[in-house]
Structure 1
Amino acid sequence: MINRRHIRVKVMQSVYAMLQSHNDDIIREEKFLKHSILKMFDLYVLNLLLLVEVQKLAAKKIALSKKKILATKEDLAPNTKFIDNKIINSISESVSVESYMEVNSLKNWELDDEYVKIIFDELQKNNLYKKYLDTVEDSFKVDKAFVIDFFKEIIAPNEKLAEYYEDKMISWVDDIPFVNTWVVKSLSKCKENKTFMLGTLYKDKDDEDFVANLFRKTVLKHKEFEADIEEKTPNWESDRIAEIDMILIKMSLTEFVHFPSIPTRVTINEYIEISKDYSTEKSSYFINGVLDKISKDFLKNKRIVKIGRGLL
């Protein structure tokens, strides 16, 4: 499921896009933001389905080998450990996976099957595959460990696959690392003799509401917060502050004022970490300094009023 940090990243990107385009259609931009988050689930399911399609391709190759005129002993009695893999079979038989695929018309691996072949070729060349096939132990534990390693070592880092995903949806560029981690967590949670169920996109309704509220309030209040920022950065012209830094600070102030259950220190730490990935080398220090000054001022003037968990 999507976590609060990645929600903040998605909101940051949407705020940046809206301010850059000078577009004031907040409803349309909010819809696009929610859509881009929903599409993350497509990416999550496509990765799971890729495991299934690679297994199907392996099964087809085994079937064809048996039909050879000069079939070898190995062709006639192949190693079926991979096509019998319990984890992949559980995904293949999952009603939740099949239903999502049908409702959302996820036919990518049917239409672009060359990527299934690319991954299968990489798998066959990897020592991980040979080692798995040679493993005598036949257990759920061995199958699970192999599938997790297969995804982490072969699928997740594949550059051609990443380029394919990026071509399909530009917002997936930043989602791929997060979704890869999500897939690994889902595989790790698989239990023997249990039906595979897709994860949920949001942890709860609060997280789902957090998306719209953070975006809307940041956009509507950004001019007001700009004045607060300028007051605490007298030696900086606003156009000298990196645009991403400015947006991250504005989002932080939105959380200070409009999200009473989120502790101020949690907000500051989250945006400092995001700045390390999306802004300049010194941004984290700058953002920390500005937010520390503003938070003290807001607390003094009672613009920050936290309740419950937010008091901690």
Structure 2
Amino acid sequence: MQSIYAMHQNGSENLEKEEKFLFFSIDSIQDLYLTMVSSLMEICKKETEFLHKSSLKHLATPAERNPNKKFINNAVFQILAENNSLSIAIETRKIDTWYLNEDYILLLLNAVKESKYYLDYMSNPKQTFEEDKQLIVDLFTHIIVPNDKLYEHLEDDKLTWIDDIPLVNTLIIKQLKGLKPIEEDNFRVPKVYKDTEDKDFAKDLFRKTVLNEKELAKQFVDKTPNWDSDRIAEIDTIILKMAICELLKFPSIPVKVTLNEYLELAKEYSTPKSSIFINGILDNLVKELEANKTLLKTGRGLI
């Protein structure tokens, strides 16, 4: 949707160029995921370095010579640091954000150490896996994710990440909550695509919508008698074209799935009344296509 909107705004007709950028944007979601997960690892590294340097001071205090290492020994940090899937992905994708911008890690570390979650955790002499896990979940959810400076940095790094941040952070929190104390493959980097069919779908939907825009628009222009086509929000027309494209050109996708997906898109990205407007048009169109027997669904599309 955003790629098609960008094409309209730029007046671009270079389909291959825009498609290339579309897949670059999708692949970048994994970079964002790895950047956010590695922020936890880097926070632990920075605190470890700080404790070590403090212990070597000429006039180190007893607390500095024998520091409380409960935080840096947190089991979740160890799981992340020893995870092959994560290490390989970070190396392969060349994630060096924090190496180049360590001041943000220091900023986050300071915020962590000033938080009630950290202070309560460190004041408890006992250390259990569940307590370790809960601390990291709380710190990530309430200290790291909401940090305005971090958000600004991510936004400046890649503009396409803005809409992906909530999705990625929600996934990471879910993974952290699901960690087990002793289990191989305890943490795995998720794939960007489920399979090749998943990637092909993104390509096909983009191409079929762009190459058939005029044909798709004809399906709804006469169903908006009280609206001049120029007055319909551009995002709404793109959502309608994509939805109609799925209805007509993707027989294996169930009608209900298509309707639900695009109503959610309208709620998220368009005007408050858009979802009602789009729902009305698509509902009437589906009834018409079913009556004319031109809405042909096969396989799981019949479910």
Structure 1 segment 163-174 matched on structure 2, within 5 A: 163-174=152-163
3-state SS, counterpart of residue 146 of structure 2: coil
Q: Which residue does the alignment assign to 1:231?
A: 222
Q: Which residue does the alignment assign to 1:60?
A: 49
What is the CA distance between 1:229 and its match in structure 2? 1.0
What is the CA distance between 1:284 and its match in structure 2? 0.8
Q: TM-score, normalised by structure 2?
A: 0.95
Structure 1 segment 37-186 matched on structure 2, within 5 A: 37-186=26-175
Conserved in 2, the CA contact under 8 Å of 1:186 and 1:199?
no
Whichever residue aligns with residue 179 of structure 1, its letter is V
Q: Deviations along 1:59-99, whole A, 9 cap, x unmatched?
A: 11111221223322221221111111111111112222222
3-state SS, counterpart of residue 171 of structure 1: helix
2:25 to 36, 40, 49: 36
In 1, distance between residues paired with 2:77 and 2:17?
39
Q: Which moved more, 1:202-211 or 1:275-284?
A: 202-211
Structure 1 segment 268-279 matched on structure 2, within 5 A: 268-279=259-270
Structure 1 position 26 matched with structure 2 position 15? yes
Q: Which residue does the alignment assign to 1:3?
A: none
3-state SS, counterpart of residue 222 of structure 2: helix
The percentage of counterpart residues that share the same residue type is 43
In 1, distance between residues paired with 2:294 and 2:205?
17
3-state SS, counterpart of residue 253 of structure 1: helix
Q: TM-score, normalised by structure 1?
A: 0.92
- Aligned CA RMSD, in angstroms, stands at 1.4
For structure 1, the 5+ residue unaligned runs are: 1-11
In 2, distance between residues paired with 1:42 and 1:136?
37
In 2, distance between residues paired with 1:209 and 1:142?
43
**Which of structures 1 and 2 has the larger relative contact order (alpha carbons within 8 angstroms, sep 6+)?**
1
In 2, distance between residues paired with 1:50 and 1:220?
41
3-state SS, counterpart of residue 232 of structure 1: coil
In 2, distance between residues paired with 1:207 and 1:140?
37
In 1, distance between residues paired with 2:297 and 2:157?
42
What is the CA distance between 1:140 and its match in structure 2? 1.9
Q: Which residue does the alignment assign to 1:209?
A: 200
For structure 2, the 5+ residue unaligned runs are: none
